[in-house]
Copies of this chain bind each other. A is one copy, B any other.
Amino acid sequence: MAGNTFGTLFKITTFGESHGKAIGVIIDGCPAGLKIDERFIQSELDRRKPGQSAIVTQRKEGDKAEILSGVFEGTTTGTPIMMLIQNQDARSKDYSHIATKYRPSHADFTYQEKYGNRDYRGGGRSSARETAARVAAGAIAKLLLVHHGVYVDAYVSQVGELSMPPLPHDIEIDNIEKTMVRCPDLELAEKMITHIKEIKKQGDTIGGAVCAIIQGCPIGLGEPVFDKLHAALGKAMLSINACKGFEYGSGFSGITMRGSEHNDRFFKAGDEIKTTTNHSGGIQGGISNGMPIYFRCAFKPVATIISDQTSVDEDGNEVTVKGKGRHDPCVVPRAVPIVEAMAALVVADFLLLNKVTRV
């Protein structure tokens, strides 16, 4: 209830501060009998970790997840799966210069006001470092999904003004990981990389967008009326640091469309019922209809910049927040595995929930 738990049946609880001893996650509700490939978990973490390329923060963290429970002889036992990630860069750093200052557009002020105290080191709990725990949990959700033939893929569709065309996209999944920016349009990707490097050089940051596509999702996932599949996906994405907006299917472009144009006609394709168009984004009435699910997330520019900004401290005095340190010039390349993880967690949860739908 204090917000660190996500999911109903496939349920995760994360913990840990950016510069505390460790971060991690408990998965409660992962079915028994699932084979766990630890290398896959690690490979997912590696996609998110800092220092992976020239366009992300150069902070060094190994981000090694250790499974402490719930897996026996390589298989889940149905008991809670605990994964621990030690913080390595957390020892000796001195954050006292921002201990009482509120960095603009960070969570310093709101945490202090809400809780009366806070672990100010590196943003504490509000740091995006917490998302490493989500990626570890999401990797296990993905293993469950693959077992059911469901695949979740995310990619960068926009950095600043550099954008792929409007949704839906017909992308080459294999292209996503070919560049450090994770945009499947390889030509655009190069432009994005150049742009981000430029922004970085300026000590500034830039926003971006991440799209995702879920394929192979069985018909029937989603629980009306409040837990519609897209509502759960939306909450999941908006809970990611820096995410400011979510749309699925026709999304905001549906505003200007007419019903006669927007409606997806059903037709029979072999044994299956499909729709001629997919403005519904694979979800109708909050329930998956078997067509590909796709959505788009807006990410704001990272708040940490290399220039001095005016602000106030805890006592209300006007102060200057000095720009320094290493930072992500653009969050979206590293957001890709996080978006996938959260989407996988949502779908895994609804897969389980759907098992109790009928007598």
Contacts and interface: CB of A to CB of B under 8 A. Distances in A.
Interface stretch (A42-50, A99-107, A171-179, A181-189): A99-107
B207 A262 contact: yes
Contacts of A180: none
Contact of A77 (B125, B305, B356): B125
Contacts of A356: 9, 29, 31, 352, 355-356
A79 B309 contact: no
A54 interface: no
Given A14-B80, A16-B69, A160-B255, A227 B3 contact: yes
Interface in A89-116: 102, 104-107, 109-111, 113-116
Contact of A273 (B33, B109, B220, B301): B109
Contacts of A199: 258
Contacts of A354: 114
B82 A263 contact: no
Interface string A255-272: 111111111111110000
B82 A305 contact: no
A119 to B, nearest CB: 4
A57 interface: no
Given A119-B77, A224-B3, A258-B301, A21 B69 contact: yes
A250 B81 CA distance: 34
Interface residues of A, number: 147
A150 interface: no
Given A9-B356, A245-B252, A259-B206, A79 B220 contact: no
A142 interface: no
A104 B262 CA distance: 10
Contacts of A53: none
Contacts of A114: 32, 78, 219-220, 222, 287, 354, 357
A76 B118 CA distance: 9
A359 B31 contact: yes
Quick one: which of A3, A238, A289 has the most chain B CB within 10 A? A3
A268 to B, nearest CB: 5
B75 A117 contact: yes
Nearest to A105: B263
Interface string A5-16: 110110101111
Nearest to A76: B359
A338 B82 CA distance: 23
Contact of A260 (B6, B207, B288, B307): B307
Given A117-B72, A251-B298, A254-B298, A78 B264 contact: no
B204 A3 contact: no
A302 B259 contact: yes
Interface string A159-202: 01100000000000000000000000000000000000001000
23 contacts: A3-B226, A9-B356, A13-B13, A15-B68, A16-B82, A21-B68, A31-B358, A77-B125, A78-B358, A102-B266, A110-B284, A114-B219, A114-B220, A126-B224, A205-B260, A206-B257, A208-B255, A231-B234, A245-B245, A257-B300, A259-B301, A273-B312, A356-B356
Given A13-B80, A207-B255, 19 more contacts: A1-B8, A1-B29, A1-B353, A4-B224, A15-B28, A17-B77, A29-B356, A77-B115, A77-B117, A79-B119, A106-B285, A160-B255, A207-B256, A209-B252, A228-B239, A230-B238, A231-B238, A266-B310, A266-B311
